Amino acid sequence: MTFARDTLIGDPDRLPRLPGWVTSRRAETLEDVAFLSGAALAQLHIVLSRNDVPHALLRDRLALRAAEACVTFSGRPERAGELRDAWHLLRPDDLPGPAGEVYLSWRRAAERPVSIKALHRALPETAPEQIAMALDAGQGAPVARAAMALEAVLTQAPRAEVSGLILADAALAQALGWDHLLPVLAGGLKRADLRKRGDDLRLACHRAVTASGLEATRLAADLARRAAHLKSVAPKLRAKGAGEAVAIFLTRDAVAPAALPLPDRAARRLCERLVDLGAVRELSGRDTFRLYGV
């Protein structure tokens, strides 16, 4: 994922942090809140310029968080664990269910560079013309454009929260010059915020970006450290296909052993070995049908 030409290499423990005044200050006016969200986005942009951050993995994990927020907005009970299961334990020809569809939409939206074609793949029920209109709905600063895209979708279809939030994040990415959508808005908004319009909605979006920008920066730093450790232990892995397996772990929020390019038993042994080395974690808490992730 390309955010800047001059990508940086460095110690993951020294990733730049968001200044404390960005989150400690309680801003009330639209101008003050916009200033803070701009600072959060500037800091996030710097972090995303670094190639020691596993960008695809970061997007995939943020997609899970965004899907969880959207499922919560709809009143459904599924949380991260159930959403992972809805996708990773899906059998051929099965349908993922409503919550799984939400998760699939976010994953598809975040995994490819922003384009109308890619967004239509993530939102097949939204016509390409509607996607183009939403992306072009706003002008001005990035968060304002994202808020206008969200408002345009929700004005036309008040219950289309998933489509609106995905297209709002896409508009934000385009305005910032990012190649890929980074899911940030959904995790910082409340259900009541989605009923707001005009300046009230813009204010909510600025606050959401400030809060989510901080969380995304922290997550990027954590994943950079974990990715560095996984790469450092990779030479200790002797299984054929281990290198490809490590590459998969560095791009996906969760991985089932069956998804690795190894025989079933060898894949399970590799996952257990990586857990023993502290390079990945078992995410499901089960004895069978386990999922692993960095």
Q: Which domains does the chain have, with CATH numbers?
A: 17-224 (no CATH), 237-293 (1.10.10)
Q: What is the pLDDT of residue 61?
A: 98
Q: What is the pLDDT of residue 5?
A: 36
Reference 203, options 271, 265, 280, 150; nearest CA is 150
Q: Is 75 left (phi over 0), alpha (psi -120 to 50) or beta?
A: left
State phi, psi for 37 to the nearest 5 degrees: -65, -35
Cα angle for residues 280, 282, 283 (degrees, 5° grid): 115
Q: What is the pLDDT of residue 7?
A: 41
Q: What is the pLDDT of residue 16?
A: 63
Look up residue 5 and give its DSSP letter: S
| Full pLDDT tens readout for the chain, 294 residues | 443 333 444 566 666 666 666 665 566 788 999 999 999 999 999 999 998 999 999 999 999 999 999 999 999 999 999 999 999 998 888 889 999 999 999 999 999 999 999 999 999 999 999 999 999 988 899 999 999 999 999 999 999 999 999 999 999 999 999 999 999 999 999 999 999 999 999 999 999 999 999 999 999 999 999 999 999 999 999 989 999 999 999 999 999 999 999 999 999 999 999 999 999 999 999 999 999 999
